[in-house]
Chain A
Amino acid sequence: MVLSKAKMTPFTFINSVLLLGVAFVTIYPFLHMIAVSLSGDVHVMRGDVNLIPKELTFKNYEHVLSDSRIGTGYFNTILYVTLGTAISLIITAMGAYALSKKTMIFRKGFMIMIVFTILFGGGMIPTFLVVKSLGLLDTVWAMVLPQAVSTWNLIIMRTFFSATIPNELEESAKIDGLNDLGIFARIVLPLSKPVLATIGLFYAVGIWNNFILPLLYLRDDALYPLQVILRNLVLVEQMADVSGGDAVVVQESIQYATILVSTLPILLLYPFLQKYFVKGVMIGSLKE
């Protein structure tokens, strides 16, 4: 549509105000947490900090970072994210490429088998028993294997491969003597960096944020990732307040600092990553 036609009608005005409101509601909680976590105790206790820190101080962050549990949580989370993303990405790319080849035998059957798992699954307990019987409980593997492949990501990748890699290229490579493994490793992967980055990010964020796997499969607190530590530090203590006793107000700024410390990487990287996220959805919504 023509840009010069944009006049300030009453509708445009109300609409803009409304959407500005949406933007504010989205970002306000984060700004408020940052402000409180950086403010002096007196002001937090009085409750007069809103969006701007008063009596700027970093002592809440010093307090949080000196907690050894946060350090362990960070270490574990980073380990799970790197290992898990690598495994998930490799397996998914390999499988998606195979599924994108119309010549593969049983292709349709495999596809049905995979899509069926969206509709029906064994549920929490039978899955737990399988993980347990494999001896994965309380190991790093329980954090990376049970959700290694996401059906959604697999389908996105398959769609990408079949839509963007020209068949002629693969045929000529075949004539030159490459087999499917060679084509995949030397032609398809180098051409697919955008989708690999996108899906890798989806996996990484998913593992970073995961709470169910550690809740179900970890008992040893030395293996706890950040999310479990965060829950123990913020939610469990808060819920203890619920069952009686006065809530300690100063806690609030430490709780916010804890929340922010464990979300920091995502908040900081978000502006750079969000275009990849959107790309992922767009590829996924393409139809074959």
Chain B
Amino acid sequence: MVEFWQNLHPAVQLFLKGIAVVLVIFPLGGIGSLAERKISAAMQGRPGPNRAIPIWFRWVPVLGPFLQRLGVFHLMADGLKMLFKEDALPGHVNKFYFVAAPILAMIPALTTVTAVPFGAYLNGQGELVPLVLANLDVGILAVFAVSSLGVYSLIIAGWASNSKYPFLGGIRASAQLISYELSMTLSVLPVFLWINAPGTNGSLSLFNVVQFQSGTSFLGGMWFFFLMPVSAVVFLVSLFAETNRLPFDMAEGEADLVGGFHTEYGAFKWGLFFVAEYAHMIVGSGVFVLLFLGGWNPLPWLPLEKVLGWMGVASNPFIFGIASIVVFLTKVLFFIFVFMWVRWTVPRFRYDQVMRLGWQKLLPLAIGNLLFYAAAIAIIELQLAVWAWVALAAATIVALFAILRPQSRTAL
């Protein structure tokens, strides 16, 4: 089996791996939409979708009603509806770009997955090998670069729809993405400053970040969420904004923009936008988990290798791979839940508040955070005396007071 796989042409191997990943991400997007409906319903004290059932499942005694109650058949019904509904193409749109926009939405959503390692296994030599389509040294840069292409689909959809609300939605989406992309990237920089010590071969690979969190010593096994909480929070907030999720779904905002950029869309084209949003969420939470929550390590200071070592199966690449994927996907799915949880907690921001939060709060915070860790790393590396720490602490406190000073009532 393994030899057969390794004897395949590398291009065929890559193709099959790519298909496998798409076959995981696409259904996860669908499951995301079902989970969204069920979780939203549970938070609002109602049962949610629980009606649809194909006739041959009705005959299964216990499982049938249970699955019906769970609403899993609604997923099927939704998919069939999207496929067979009349796919109206409004007469006033630019047809080429109108049709291209949903396809453009899917491409970056499925492409970013290539640089995200979703597991690892130990090879024969006892080295950890990432389960990733392309273990790029520019990992995080590739993810940011490609995922930010997703906004083109929103802008093109908004523009090609040739009507007011989609146009406003597209504008908002682009402005919001630019604003939050800055703080997102700046918030991640301290992590890479930390793991790329001077004099070593620098790498932006996400795999290396997880490797760095897989130790057992105090600093080595500590997840970056605890080491750099401000980075993590800024990154998470930016992630919400980048994926256009509530409270930042300015591009859609039913209350003020009807449906935003996808007002003119229906049926399968609309569904592609929807799945793309979930794919973005999955990849985004995956990156967050890899960067700040230790990737496939079950607990801080407790790498997966050690856990499997206790069970005596660490040398089995298959079990190691499956276990790492399970731990990683569990964390990612938890974050999908957090996305929905926050959706029903925080009301949607006003657009000026979104801009103010992005430029006046998160960006200074991210820059200050970057400066703080740059200084801290310099102090550690140069082995400066205590006075350097004192100076850094004083500067931090001053900066905090500057950011947290009481604002006038027009502020956020």
| Bind each other | no
Interface on A for B, CB 8 Å cutoff? none
